[in-house]
């Protein structure tokens, strides 16, 4: 294990860089409950230096050929794939998710890199020959400039990979500010990018908290901000960066409902609820946190979910367990507090995660999988994004009541329906105000060639992440109307140009 006095520095202009800051923060191994290293926390001056490095690298990178950028992406994909086991170990050590889940996170990030390989096609403009007599009109896509990417703790590799490969492919340069809770993956990715031939300054990493984020949001040389995190911060980031003239996409929190209709395959639904509720200890923005069980099948469904939970092993992600610890002790205690709230609100604690046994160090931030039935929709357990291994069951009369609840939620990230009735599934898909929908699929994260993002308080801004939206966000279009000299074009006409 790395000695705790080891400090993770920023990565600026192609190398580790300390900057002026003397402030550091501990980075914990959540399964051991002790710091594994510390991380440097940037001042606004440090962020300015990183932005300056990105701005200095911009002209050459923006003007590099598509072939050059494409070759870098090919190399990056190969190196990332070859070295991914080392990255999975870092994710497990700092986030706590089990190794197999860490590998899954990397696989989804790699998919975005693979999608980005289609950049020569995606960056093509359009051409209309002879739009008016002797006049051609065409459009080209150009990079936005220096872009800031601010990422959350729960996907320390995948979320940066949602954004920076596309930003770089499009000719932008990047300053990435990862979560200070598990920051090492970002430097690791930047080093692999450098090994794959990325010129210094194209991808920079600064570490820190609000001070660093504010410096990025207000920096005059930053043209766009991609943010992922909790809803209050996403809203703040959206307002602040837009007020400072930047293009912004700010993805926020979630409360995802899974509706189970009476005709559903209850075994499939119970498997799905357990997998989507407790994978990554519920610390996923696409986790299912509420099962809407139609009353006629609710008892049976709850019994089948509880039965499956008996076999889940919670513990150190390096020991082949199903579920790891929570990210910090404070977060663990906050999530556990919701179990008291559930009891106070007269919900039924079917499985109490505080009573679980754990295959890990006693100092780890443990909370076992928890199932709460008959959760009242007035309870904070239903309303709040808990972001832990707590699955709530809300009993509903039927389809209409379920859709009403889903649409009354301030969030609109993901939702799922379990049914064998195609008509009901189709009606569900049309009626819910949610950005990503699963039909008998509990975690409907779109593949990399579609785009990812929610509605309402789950996404501020109008561009989703990756896929076609990603290229649109990281490029700005120029439309060129062109006429080459021809004697027939002479003459005075003060009227608004008309096509003929
Ligand atoms: P967070 O909002 O606490 O932090 C996200 C980022 O913002 C981090 O880099 C952090 O350093 C920074 N930050 C924290 N406080 C700040 C402040 N006051 N001012 C400016 N910046 C600040 O989120 P988190 O706890 O790291 O991540 C979990 C949250 O992210 C959950 O709400 C989850 O739903 C959400 N999330 C959403 C998606 C999505 O795609 N919609 C994906 C992953 C995670």
> Domain check: are 102 and 117 in the same one?
yes
Q: Residue 396's pLDDT is what?
A: 98
> Domain check: are 474 and 423 in the same one?
no
Q: Residue 485's pLDDT is what?
A: 85
Nearest to 200, CA basis, from 68, 308, 53, 300: 53
Compute the distance between CA of residue 157 and CA of residue 168 in angstroms, rounded to an integer: 16
> Domain check: are 190 and 244 in the same one?
yes
Is 288's C-beta closer than 6 angstroms to any atom of ligand 1? no
Compute the distance between CA of residue 330 and CA of residue 365 in angstroms, rounded to an integer: 9
The separation between CA 47 and the C-alpha centre of its own chain, rounded to angstroms, equals 22
> Domain check: are 288 and 374 in the same one?
yes
Residue to probe by mutation, ligand 1, list 108, 152, 450, most atoms within 8 Å of CB: 152
**3-class DSSP string for 60-71:** HHHHCCHHHHHH
> Domain check: are 362 and 418 in the same one?
yes
Residue to probe by mutation, ligand 1, list 229, 280, 465, most atoms within 8 Å of CB: 229
Q: Residue 4's pLDDT is what?
A: 54
Phi and psi, residue 260, nearest 5°:
-115, 115
Q: Residue 486's pLDDT is what?
A: 81
Q: Let me know if 136 is exposed, middle or buried by CB neighbors in 10 A (0-12, 13-18, 19+).
A: middle
**Number of compact structural domains in the chain:** 2
> Domain check: are 47 and 186 in the same one?
yes
Is 254's C-beta closer than 6 angstroms to any atom of ligand 1? yes
Q: Residue 49's pLDDT is what?
A: 98
Ligand 1, atom 36: nearest CA belongs to which residue? Answer: 229
Task: Find the helix or strand (DSSP H, E) in which 476 lies.
Answer: strand 475-483
Is the pTM of the predicted complex or chain greater than 0.85? yes
The alpha carbon of 397 and the centre of ligand 1 are apart by a number of angstroms equal to 35
Phi and psi, residue 431, nearest 5°:
-95, -25
Q: Which atom of ligand 1 is found nearest the CA of 452?
A: 40
Is 41's C-beta closer than 6 angstroms to any atom of ligand 1? no
Nearest to 201, CA basis, from 13, 9, 11: 13
Domain presence at residue 499: no
CATH of the domain at 306: 3.40.309.10
Q: Which residue has the tokens 């509420």?
A: 290
Domain presence at residue 490: no
* Contacts (Cβ under 8 Å, ≥6 apart) of 175: 47, 50, 51, 54, 146, 147, 148, 149, 204, 205, 206, 216, 222
Q: Residue 1's pLDDT is what?
A: 43
Q: Which domain holds residue 55?
A: 7-253+453-480
Domain presence at residue 2: no
Phi and psi, residue 255, nearest 5°:
-150, 95
Q: Coil, strand, or helix at residue 359? A: strand
The alpha carbon of 228 and the centre of ligand 1 are apart by a number of angstroms equal to 6
Phi and psi, residue 225, nearest 5°:
-125, 130
**285 catalytic per annotation:** yes
Domain presence at residue 465: yes
Is 252's C-beta closer than 6 angstroms to any atom of ligand 1? yes
> Domain check: are 244 and 191 in the same one?
yes
Q: Which residue has the tokens 């920076």?
A: 164
> Domain check: are 272 and 389 in the same one?
yes
Domain presence at residue 491: no
* Contacts (Cβ under 8 Å, ≥6 apart) of 156: 90, 91, 94, 95, 178, 179, 182, 183, 184, 185, 186
Domain presence at residue 497: no
Decide: 108 and 151 in contact? Cβ < 8 Å. no
Is 155's C-beta closer than 6 angstroms to any atom of ligand 1? yes
CATH of the domain at 203: 3.40.605.10
Is 385's C-beta closer than 6 angstroms to any atom of ligand 1? yes
Ligand 1, atom 15: nearest CA belongs to which residue? Answer: 210
Nearest to 191, CA basis, from 117, 293, 80: 80
Domain presence at residue 210: yes
Compute the distance between CA of residue 475 and CA of residue 144 in angstroms, rounded to an integer: 5
> Domain check: are 114 and 217 in the same one?
yes
Beta bridge partners of 315: 359
**Alpha-carbon separation of residue 500 from 36, 130, 131, 132 (angstroms):** 70, 10, 8, 5
Is 150's C-beta closer than 6 angstroms to any atom of ligand 1? yes
Decide: 85 and 121 in contact? Cβ < 8 Å. no
Nearest to 242, CA basis, from 463, 53, 433, 55: 463
Q: Residue 5's pLDDT is what?
A: 66
Catalytic option among 102, 112, 119, 285: 285
pLDDT per residue rounded down to tens, the chain (500 residues)? 444 569 999 999 999 999 999 999 999 999 999 999 999 999 999 999 999 999 999 999 999 999 999 999 999 999 999 999 999 999 999 999 999 999 999 999 999 999 999 999 999 999 999 999 999 999 999 999 999 999 999 999 999 999 999 999 999 999 999 999 999 999 999 999 999 999 999 999 999 999 999 999 999 999 999 999 999 999 999 999 999 999 999 999 999 999 999 999 999 999 999 999 999 999 999 999 999 999 999 999 999 999 999 999 999 999 999 999 999 999 999 999 999 999 999 999 999 999 999 999 999 999 999 999 999 999 999 999 999 999 999 999 999 999 999 999 999 999 999 999 999 999 999 999 999 999 999 999 999 999 999 999 999 999 999 999 999 999 999 999 999 988 777 889 899 988 88
Ligand 1, atom 39: nearest CA belongs to which residue? Answer: 251
Domain presence at residue 448: no
* Contacts (Cβ under 8 Å, ≥6 apart) of 311: none
DSSP letter assigned to residue 247: E
Q: Which atom of ligand 1 is found nearest the CA of 253?
A: 34
Quote the Cα angle for 311-313-316, to 5°: 170
> Domain check: are 41 and 99 in the same one?
yes
> Domain check: are 245 and 269 in the same one?
no
Q: Residue 2's pLDDT is what?
A: 46
> Domain check: are 278 and 363 in the same one?
yes
Helix 184-195 vs helix 66-94: crossing angle, to nearest 10: 150
**Alpha-carbon separation of residue 490 from 475, 483, 484, 494, 498 (angstroms):** 36, 12, 12, 13, 15
Phi and psi, residue 238, nearest 5°:
-60, -50
Ligand 1, atom 40: nearest CA belongs to which residue? Answer: 251
């Amino acid at each position: 294990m790395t000695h705790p006095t080891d400090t993770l520095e920023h990565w600026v202009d192609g190398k580790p860089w300390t900057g002026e800051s003397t402030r550091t923060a501990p980075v914990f191994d959540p399964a051991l409950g002790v710091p594994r290293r510390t991380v440097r926390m940037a001042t606004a001056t440090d962020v300015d230096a990183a932005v300056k490095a990105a701005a200095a690298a911009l002209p050459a990178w923006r003007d590099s050929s598509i072939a050059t950028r494409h070759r870098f992406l090919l190399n990056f994909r190969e190196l990332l794939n070859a070295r991914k086991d080392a990255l999975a170990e870092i994710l497990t050590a700092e986030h706590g998710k089990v190794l197999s889940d860490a590998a899954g996170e990397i696989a989804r990030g790699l998919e975005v890199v693979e999608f980005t390989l289609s950049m020569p096609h995606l960056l093509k403009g359009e051409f209309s020959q002879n739009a008016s007599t002797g006049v051609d009109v065409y459009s080209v896509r150009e990079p936005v400039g220096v872009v800031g990417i601010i990422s959350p703790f729960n996907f320390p590799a995948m979320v940066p990979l949602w954004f920076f490969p596309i930003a770089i492919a499009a000719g932008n340069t990047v300053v990435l500010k990862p979560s200070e809770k598990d920051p090492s993956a970002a430097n690791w990715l930047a080093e692999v990018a450098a090994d794959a031939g990325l010129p210094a300054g194209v991808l920079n990493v600064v570490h820190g908290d609000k001070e660093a984020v504010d410096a990025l949001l207000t920096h005059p040389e930053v043209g766009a901000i991609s943010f992922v995190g909790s809803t209050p911060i996403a809203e703040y980031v959206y307002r602040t960066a837009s007020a400072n003239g930047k293009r912004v996409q700010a993805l926020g929190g979630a409360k995802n409902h899974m509706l189970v209709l009476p005709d559903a395959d209850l075994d499939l639904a119970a498997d799905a609820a357990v997998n989507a509720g407790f994978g990554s200890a519920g610390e996923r923005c696409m986790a299912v946190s509420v099962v809407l069980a139609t009353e006629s099948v609710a008892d049976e469904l709850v019994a089948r979910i509880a039965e499956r939970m008996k076999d889940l092993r919670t513990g150190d992600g390096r020991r082949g367990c199903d579920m790891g610890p929570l990210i910090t002790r404070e977060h663990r205690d906050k999530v556990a507090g919701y179990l008291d709230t559930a009891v106070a609100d007269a919900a039924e604690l079917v499985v109490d995660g505080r009573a679980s046994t754990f295959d890990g160090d006693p100092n780890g931030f443990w909370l076992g999988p928890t199932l709460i039935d008959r959760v009242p929709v007035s309870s904070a357990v239903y309303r709040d994004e808990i972001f832990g291994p707590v699955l709530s069951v809300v009993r509903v009369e039927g389809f209409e009541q379920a859709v009403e609840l889903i649409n009354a939620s301030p969030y609109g990230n993901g939702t799922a329906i379990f049914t064998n009735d195609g008509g009901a599934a189709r009606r569900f898909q049309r009626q819910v105000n949610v950005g990503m929908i699963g039909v008998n699929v509990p975690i409907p994260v779109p593949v990399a060639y579609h785009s990812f993002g929610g509605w309402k308080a789950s996404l501020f801004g109008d561009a989703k992440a990756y896929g076609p939206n990603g290229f649109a966000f990281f490029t700005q279009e120029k439309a060129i109307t062109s006429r080459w000299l021809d004697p027939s074009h002479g003459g005075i006409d003060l009227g608004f140009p008309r096509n003929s």
